[in-house]
Chain A
Amino acid sequence: VQPPEKPLQAEEWNKLRENFQSPEIFEEVMLNSMIRCDSPIDVAKSLLTHLAKRNGDIAYNVLVKYLTLCVQQGQVSEICDVYDIMKVRFKILESGAYNLLIKGLSNSDQWRMALTLLEEVKKMMIPSRTCYESCIKAASRHQEMKLAFELYDEMLAKDVVPTLDVLQSFFDCSRGMKDAELQKELFGILLYLRENQIYPHKTFMRSIKLWFESIPGGKWRGHLTNIKNSGQCPVCNHQLEDSNLTEEEYSNLSERIIRDVIHGTDTFRKTSPQEFEAFQTFVENRLPFDIVIDGLNVSHIKPRKMQCENLFDAVNCLAKENARLLVLGRKHMLINSSNWKREIMKEMQNKADFFFAENISEDDAFLLYATLRSGKHCKFVTRDFLRDHKACLPDSLTRHLFRKWQRGHQIVLKKKSFSSVFSQQPAFRYDCVVQTTGDTWHIPYKDVFEEKYSYQVPRKWLCIQQK
């Protein structure tokens, strides 16, 4: 339906309604299309008047729709009127109406009323993040930074995750202010990004850069750059943080992987206790390895080649400088078949240690265990992203640790066409996370549509240094 352009009389509305195929929902459909077309508010009002005259009442959902229209057009006094009516009419409101009211009021001079409304919501439920977002933005727009940060802290305490928009608004609104307290809070936000491994997008990055450069007397300078593979920043020659985990993180992660990934709810699901024990003694007797290879994964790199040939190439390619290799496979690889030739397998077993798991066991879990047990220098080879193993870890902190460790220790073999040479995508040497040394900040950022997978990390950086 196309909404009318001018307010209509009751009879005209009636006529329209009769022509509509299902008159019961006519008002709803009409208001929806008014919202879509951003119709003048008077038209909606005339519809409401017609409704009120006919029924002596207006249903809640119609009121909410009207409210949506008012909020969309920023009709503040109307919003207030609707709120007054709703408040008397209904004992409590539901979250949708509150969201709208807060959003509408926070954009106006009445923004303090949005705060009182937020208090009202808190009595009943945890406010949504859009509620907090509107209030925080309103407060920081009016330079009430202290209030904004109070709301922000409250939001975090309630486990409501802030949007990047809110974080950005803090930087936008504090530009040029000289206030030590405020500066500390904003550094706190940057550390929040660090702890949760969040990468700001390009516009957010720009806000951060502008804020830094605007601090009076701060003498901060920002540059956009790409970090070298060695982990050195080309602008300030600063070496970025190592991707290695700390001792504590490392032992924590290995413990979690054994407990949650390998054993999980039932050791029998991925392996069996006997097999795992056998594997453990096997690994302990031969420690440490330099590279652990997922044999089956590597053997599928080139589909046209025999699987054992693929594996053979990979082992040859990695067996340089006396590196100690461990290849994990399954027992079916030992049976002579078209894909697995016994002679080649024998030859390989001279170059590397092999462990063959049962055909129904999961070899990935063994891969993780052997690599972690070998120590920090040990890398592993697989094209698998290991998402399902990451998912077995119970909390986000450990999952982050896992990703970080994986970035630093996974080697991915890539095939080069028509030759037997593999190219390797090296493991990351530096940690891709917001970091600081006090007088420098390095902030990775992403272009909006890039790096959308959890294993990908941004390659672009913002380098900020104090002169």
Chain B
Amino acid sequence: MQSANMLLRKIVRSSVLPFAAQHGMKKDLFPLSRTLSLSLCLKQDKSCEPSEKLDLDEWKKVMKTGLQEEVSETVSEPKELSSLAAARETLEMWRLAGRAVPENISEEQLKTFMECPSKSAKKKYLKYLHLKELHKKNDKRKMDEKRERKLEAQDQASKMDETKNSSFICMWSSTMNKAYNWRAAQSMIFGQPLVFDMSYEKEMSVREVANTVRQIALSESCNRRSVDPFHIHFCNFKDDSLYHTEFIKQYREAWGKLLITVTDQCYTEIFPKDKLIYLTADSPKVMKTFDHDKIYIVGSMVDKSIKTGVSLARAKRLGLETAAFPLEKYLLWSTGAKNLTLDQVMHILLTLKDTADWKKALEFVPKRKYCGFVNKPVNELKKTLDLINTFKLGKGREEVRKQFPKSYPKKYKLK
């Protein structure tokens, strides 16, 4: 019966709107009175279908009666709320309204939230917290599941009571760490220096600094694991800086035991100037080979709002040589900025150092940013790519042929 009804409804779907208008008009003939009790009985007999006894306003009654106790509670509460409590209250309402708002929020986060300068900044911050919370929850759930599975497996293993024979000693991570640290210690004496320039704090927001520190930690760990690590230097590092607090958050007590050199001096004071090369995507010079005698400098900066030329300006000011990775030469670039994350840079440099193979090194550039490696001259590749695009758009062959000379003039302004 119900499904038949539905079918019929779908057929007469087009007539829904006029029907609604009619219906609405009919209802307007009975002016709704403000008091609920009165309007209740009125509607009960008139606006419902005769066969059904449906009290349309019953939900109001339910909502109101359920409230009586609560109301008395709220009355006794002090009306004035502190601004923090009021903000918490607003957040709760937003959550109820179904916006992207975290369920739990700490005092500190609430303060940051209130300090956001605009509505959109507030929204963004809340969404960030919300997503963070979701990730955390998911991770926890996965951990729990894993633990359960592990326990089960252990149970089974104990039932089987089987001992494994192996000619290798089980290498625990602590042993591995010892080996890595030994290598890192060696690099501190004999290794090639690699400088992280920690002087960009002013250019970044708090979150960008946190991201930077995270990326540096990743770079440091992959450096430690490599066969021939760099001797990492943090230069221009101030003890009371945001970098410092973030590093302590990241590493905790291990911060003091890291096998790297941290100094508040500038790299120009430590190393001879002619050996320094500043790596920056804005550099007009393209790096051809990795030089084992040079000291490369990487700017410790995450710039989400792309700030062009900041690190190039720094190198210019100090009169240093600069270089950019030959991304254009080896990769057919598709989207994204040419600035890479610090850990990607570290991976590329380590690979170059070991193998001097650009192709292998540039594997670490995120795949979404390029279409493929260049095996032909770049111009030809671009042509084929454009041909493919034109065919996709469905243009005629002649048109394509005509377009060629037009779309490839040398009109790129020199930067």
A177 within 8 A of B: no
Q: In the complex, what's the smallest C-beta–C-beta distance from B273 to chain A, in angstroms?
A: 17
Decide: A37 near B16, CB < 8 A? Known: A58-B59, A80-B34: yes
Using a Cβ–Cβ cut-off of 8 Å, how many residues does chain B contribute to the interface with A? 61
Please state if A85 and B60 are interface contacts (CB–CB under 8 Å): yes
* Segment with Cβ contacts to B, from A44-52, A220-228, A347-355, A405-413: A44-52
Q: In the complex, what's the smallest C-beta–C-beta distance from A117 to chain B, in angstroms?
A: 15
B106 within 8 A of A: no
Contacts of B93 in A (CB 8 A): 60, 90, 92-94
Contacts of A144 in B (CB 8 A): none
Q: Would you list which residues of chain B between 360 and 415 have a CB under 8 Å from chain A? A: 406, 409-411, 413-415
Q: In the complex, what's the smallest C-beta–C-beta distance from A57 to chain B, in angstroms?
A: 6
Please state if A46 and B316 are interface contacts (CB–CB under 8 Å): no
Contacts of A77 in B (CB 8 A): 32-34, 39
Contacts of A37 in B (CB 8 A): 16-17, 20
Please state if A91 and B89 are interface contacts (CB–CB under 8 Å): yes
Q: Would you list which residues of chain A between 85 and 101 have a CB under 8 Å from chain B? A: 85, 88-94, 96-97
Q: In the complex, what's the smallest C-beta–C-beta distance from A129 to chain B, in angstroms?
A: 11
Decide: A52 near B62, CB < 8 A? Known: A7-B52, A332-B414: yes
Please state if B414 and A272 are interface contacts (CB–CB under 8 Å): no
Contacts of A94 in B (CB 8 A): 90, 93-94, 96-97
Q: Mark A33-69, 1 if CB is under 8 A from B, else 0.
A: 0000111111001101101110011111100100000
* Segment with Cβ contacts to A, from B63-71, B125-133, B293-301, B351-359: B63-71
Please state if B284 and A269 are interface contacts (CB–CB under 8 Å): no
Please state if A266 and B313 are interface contacts (CB–CB under 8 Å): yes
* Complex CA–CA separation, A6 to B27 (angstroms): 13
A448 within 8 A of B: no
Q: Mark A101-141, 1 if CB is under 8 A from B, else 0.
A: 00000000000000000000000110000000000000000
The CB with the most chain B CB atoms within 10 A, among A73, A77, A332, is that of A77
A218 within 8 A of B: no
Q: In the complex, what's the smallest C-beta–C-beta distance from A13 to chain B, in angstroms?
A: 11
Q: Would you list which residues of chain B between 81 and 133 have a CB under 8 Å from chain A? A: 86, 89-90, 93-94, 96-98
Q: Which single member of A60, A266, A272, A300 contacts B96 (CB below 8 Å)?
A: A60
Please state if B313 and A88 are interface contacts (CB–CB under 8 Å): no
Please state if A269 and B312 are interface contacts (CB–CB under 8 Å): yes
Q: Mark A348-389, 1 if CB is under 8 A from B, else 0.
A: 000000000001100000000000000000000000000000
Chain B interface main SS type: helix
Q: Give B309's nearest chain A residue, CB to CB.
A: A269
Please state if A360 and B33 are interface contacts (CB–CB under 8 Å): no
Q: Which single member of B16, B312, B410 contacts A5 (CB below 8 Å)?
A: B16
Decide: A4 near B58, CB < 8 A? Known: A78-B32, A268-B317: no
Contacts of A17 in B (CB 8 A): none
Please state if A56 and B309 are interface contacts (CB–CB under 8 Å): no
* Complex CA–CA separation, A5 to B39 (angstroms): 22
Please state if A85 and B49 are interface contacts (CB–CB under 8 Å): no
Q: Give B43's nearest chain A residue, CB to CB.
A: A42
A339 within 8 A of B: yes
Total number of residue pairs linking A and B with CB closer than 8 Å: 152
* Complex CA–CA separation, A89 to B32 (angstroms): 23
B146 within 8 A of A: no
B286 within 8 A of A: no
* Complex CA–CA separation, A360 to B313 (angstroms): 10
Q: Give B6's nearest chain A residue, CB to CB.
A: A2
Decide: A73 near B24, CB < 8 A? Known: A266-B310, A360-B284: yes
B57 within 8 A of A: yes
Q: Mark B24-64, 1 if CB is under 8 A from A, else 0.
A: 10010000111010010000000111001011111110111
B141 within 8 A of A: no
Please state if A12 and B97 are interface contacts (CB–CB under 8 Å): no
Q: Give A301's nearest chain B residue, CB to CB.
A: B411
Please state if B86 and A49 are interface contacts (CB–CB under 8 Å): no
B142 within 8 A of A: no
Please state if A2 and B9 are interface contacts (CB–CB under 8 Å): yes
Q: In the complex, what's the smallest C-beta–C-beta distance from B393 to chain A, in angstroms?
A: 22
A148 within 8 A of B: no
Decide: A124 near B60, CB < 8 A? Known: A7-B49, A56-B66: no
A71 within 8 A of B: no
Contacts of B32 in A (CB 8 A): 75, 77-78
* Complex CA–CA separation, A7 to B52 (angstroms): 9
Question: What are 10 A-B pairs at a CB distance below 8 A?
Answer: A42-B27, A45-B59, A52-B59, A57-B63, A81-B36, A89-B70, A90-B93, A91-B74, A94-B93, A296-B413
The 7 closest A-B pairs by CB, nearest first: A303-B409, A268-B313, A60-B96, A52-B59, A94-B93, A52-B62, A77-B32
Residues of B within 8 A of A (CB): 2, 6, 9-10, 13, 16-17, 19-20, 23-24, 27, 32-34, 36, 39, 47-49, 52, 54-60, 62-64, 66-67, 70-71, 74, 86, 89-90, 93-94, 96-98, 203, 284, 308-310, 312-314, 316-317, 406, 409-411, 413-415
Q: Give me 17 other A-B pairs in contact (C-beta within 8 A), A58-B62, A81-B36, A303-B406 excluded.
A: A2-B9, A5-B19, A6-B49, A12-B2, A42-B23, A45-B56, A46-B54, A57-B63, A60-B93, A77-B34, A88-B70, A93-B93, A268-B314, A269-B308, A297-B413, A359-B414, A360-B312
